[in-house]
């Protein structure tokens, strides 16, 4: 529908499954539960999702292992 391709998690990398499940839980808790029913249409939903994703990746400090308060963007670039 949105042109996304899914790759299976390779065998022997169970820790990656936990990371994906944690990411999905955070998506549900911090975005979908709050915004999904408030959107009038698909375009508005996608616009809010993009804005939320930018905030999550570029502006929100993270404190996981090795993050030290950096954003995901600053960690990789």
N-to-C CA span, the chain: 30
Q: Note if the pTM is more than 0.75.
A: no
**Pure H helices in the chain:** 14-27, 33-35, 42-54, 72-76
User: What letter does residue 67 receive in the DSSP assignment?
Assistant: T
> pLDDT per residue over 22-52, tens digit each?
888 988 888 888 877 888 899 998 998 898 8
Whether the predicted pLDDT of 10 surpasses 60: yes
Q: Using 50, 70 and 90 to split pLDDT, how confident is the model at 77?
A: low
Measure the CA–CA gap between 37 and 60, rounded to whole angstroms.
24
Q: Using 50, 70 and 90 to split pLDDT, how confident is the model at 1?
A: low
As given in the structure block, the two tokens for residue 56 are 């999550």
């Amino acid at each position: 529908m949105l042109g996304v391709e899914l790759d299976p998690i390779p065998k022997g990398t169970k820790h990656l499954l936990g990371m994906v499940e944690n990411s999905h839980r955070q998506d549900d808790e911090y975005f979908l539960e709050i915004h999904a029913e408030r959107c009038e249409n698909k375009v508005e939903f996608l616009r809010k999702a993009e804005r939320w994703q930018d905030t999550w990746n570029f502006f929100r400090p993270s404190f996981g292992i090795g993050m030290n308060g950096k954003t995901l963007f600053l960690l990789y670039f």
